[in-house]
């Protein structure tokens, strides 16, 4: 049983809001409703990142590269915690 199956077995699933793919000149775009924009805390002109996940894709306002850098910084700080404490004195 996958994590997705466990989620489905745990109870009723709410219907996900749909996004419509539309033509924009020679390209395509996705129209997001007000409720989705509010939940993402974004507005017109903000960047959204499409991240590939095991079950599909994740749409997020957070740059995954920045997240990786922050995590690397946390590991570095944890590794040299005693050194930083000594320097702070």
For the four alpha carbons of 28, 64, 35 and 16, in that order, the dihedral sign comes to positive
Average pLDDT in the 40-51 region? Answer: 90
pLDDT over 90 at 27, yes or no: yes
If DSSP codes are grouped into helix, strand and coil, which group holds residue 55? coil
Average pLDDT in the 31-48 region? Answer: 90
Domains and CATH numbers, the chain: 3-88 (2.10.260)
Distance CA(70)–CA(80), nearest Å, equals: 15
For the purposes of burial, counting CB atoms within 10 Å of the CB of 60, is it exposed (0-12), middle (13-18) or buried (19 or more)? middle
Query: pLDDT band at 18, cuts 50/70/90?
Result: confident
Predicted structure pTM score: 0.55
């Amino acid at each position: 049983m996958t994590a997705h199956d466990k989620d489905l077995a745990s109870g009723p699933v709410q219907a996900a809001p749909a996004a419509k793919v539309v033509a924009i000149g020679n390209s395509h775009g996705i129209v997001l409703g007000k409720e989705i924009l509010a939940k993402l805390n974004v507005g017109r002109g903000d960047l959204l990142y499409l991240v590939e996940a095991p079950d599909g894709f994740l749409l997020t306002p957070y740059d995954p590269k920045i997240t990786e850098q922050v995590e690397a910084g946390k590991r570095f700080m944890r590794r040299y915690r005693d050194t930083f404490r000594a320097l702070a004195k």
